[in-house]
Amino acid sequence: MTLVSTPDTEVADDVAQVATPARRRRPRWQRLVSPLVILAGWEAASRAGLIGEDKLPAPSAVLRTGWRLAADGTLGAHLLDSLTRAAIGLAIGGVLALVLGSAAGLLRVADDVLDPPIQMGRMLPHLALVPLLIIWVGIGESMKITLVALGAFFPLYFNTYAGIRDIDQRLVEAARTCGLNTWQRLRHVVLPGSLPSIFLGLRLSIGAAWLSLVVGEQTNTQNGIGFLMMEAREFSQTDVVVLGLFVYALLGLLSDVLIRTLERRTLGWRQGLKAT
Amino acid sequence: MASRAQGHLGSDVASDAGEVVVRALGVRRSFGPATVLAGVDLSIGAGEVVALLGGSGSGKSTLLRVLAGLDPDATGEFAVPARHAVVFQEHRLLPWKRVLDNVALGVTDRAACTAALAEVGLDTRARAWPAELSGGQAQRVAFARALARSPEVLLLDEPFGALDALTRLRMQELFQRLRSHHGFAALLVTHDVDEALLLADRALVLDRGVIAADLPVDLSHPRAPDAPGFGRLRRRLLGLLGVPVPSAS
């Protein structure tokens, strides 16, 4: 009988309680070494003239450009435009995915009606829909938002559906014997039980949303990070192009960290599971 | 079709054996061509512990699930008080709720939950996650969850079956203590003849879809497997279950 207590558990004088040493933190800084070495190598190669300034500018040059564009407000304005697009698209695609995924996961009728066409739709590479979308909704903002919404929809739909379907029926049954009605079972069993899957879907969705944004913003756009990059390409401003890539990467990284923090907060019970 | 009257059965059904809390008449259940329950009649008096024995696949658990209201496809008449609770072979605690919140599932009286947890000796683990408990502790929490709704009858589906032998003995002791304190009736599904003889007032044997034997366990408390009379009943029950044991004498 081994018992492990997480730090936030009130450790009591239970006989069976076995005190565990605090989990040792892995030294995280070690993971920073190789990226820093690569950056330093890149910088050195640029300064030594091994990499042409017009092909790939040094990281310091990209940073300087970033600073300049941030200082005159250009970067901020374009970033805000891109973020707005991503947020609206993600909200539309995400809400649709949650609603349809829950319906198909919970109701047999909804499953029969919704799932086949959605499964078919998943097989279409949604980025290849750009020409069709332009014909349908025009070349403006709606095309970009639709593309982001489409990209975000599928991962979240499938993970919501799978999360609900994977819930242990025995737990639902136990909740029924405790006198919980349908709504209470949804709240206390189905929602928390499918949350790990939904979080995974959300992370994948956000990744797909950024990807869709990159593609969407390269087609007839007047603002946004993608526009900044396309314009810079025409003037051969490689530093701005690389800066755009950095910004995209940073956005992806930040959103992932955000979701993972949220996940840790919400799914604390899984920490206990891991500790055993 | 099934006609069910759930709710407290008043004194109108009281027989000379005392008040009856659980009654089943002609309960049938088939899975395709296989008839598992072929008209089961059963009654449990107030405060009476009835063991339900039977070979593997005899339909013990099916009957318990019918009585627990978990099987909409069963036919026949049965009445179980609204205040009933079920303990399964697995603890079936929600992994995303702390121990106390699991006990409090569907119960508004938090004090009763804390009290129930204290009775099974786990009040100090109220804030733990189920995954942090041992198998025996988790099953004790499952019992606390059942107790917290102060049941008139407990429906127990091999509640000690998944535990190791030592933990099982301790749990059986705990069950007797809880029973003498609360006076609930219980239907105990088990395949363990010794367990039935230790805990039950009456043992039923389910065979070919009907109650084939109804055997009063008239042993005095505290019971022990080496007490006089225990071996005789044990042999008799095993014989009814189709496992004859030669007499020692």
pLDDT per residue over B16-54, tens digit each? 457 899 999 999 999 999 999 999 999 999 999 999 999
- Which residues of B lie closer than 8 Å to A, measured between beta carbons? 68-70, 85-86, 88, 90, 92-98, 105-107, 124-125, 127-129, 131-134, 136-137, 145, 149
User: How many CA within 13 A on the CB side of residue A19?
Assistant: 4
What would the two tokens of residue B231 be?
A: 């071996």
The predicted model scores a pTM of 0.81
Does the model's ipTM exceed the 0.95 cut?
A: no
Contacts of B95 in chain A (CB under 8 A): 269, 273
Task: Name the E strands within B113-231.
Answer: 153-157, 185-189, 202-207, 210-216
Residue A276: list chain B partners with CB under 8 A. Answer: 131-132
Q: Does A143 touch chain B (CB under 8 A)?
A: no
Could you tell me the pLDDT band of residue A269, with boundaries at 50, 70 and 90?
Answer: confident
Q: What is the pLDDT of residue A271?
A: 66
- pLDDT over 70, % of chain A: 88
Go through chain A and tell me how many residues it has: 276
Nearest Cα residue in chain A from B104: A178
Residue A9: closest CA among A268, A264, A261: A268
Cis ω before B222 (30° cut-off from 0)? yes
All residues at 6 or more sequence positions from A18 whose CB lies less than 8 Å from its CB, including other chains: A2, A3, A4
Mean of the per-residue pLDDT values of chain B: 88
pLDDT digits over A9-55, tens only?
333 334 344 444 445 566 678 888 999 999 999 999 999 988 888 88
Least confident of A191-200, A213-222, B114-123: A213-222
> Pairing mode, if any, of strands B20-31 and B34-45?
antiparallel
pLDDT tens for each residue of A71-117: 999 999 999 999 999 999 999 999 999 999 999 999 999 999 999 99
Q: What is the pLDDT of residues B2-16, one digit of tens each?
A: 444 443 333 333 344
Residue of B127, B132, B141 to mutate, testing the A interface (most A Cβ within 10 Å of its Cβ): B132
- What pLDDT, in 10s, does the model give residues B61-88? 999 999 999 999 999 999 999 999 999 9
CB A257 within 8 A of CB A212: no
Q: Name the more confident of B17 and A6.
A: B17
Contacts with B, A 154-183, CB within 8 Å: 170-171, 173-180
| pLDDT given for residue B3 in this prediction | 42
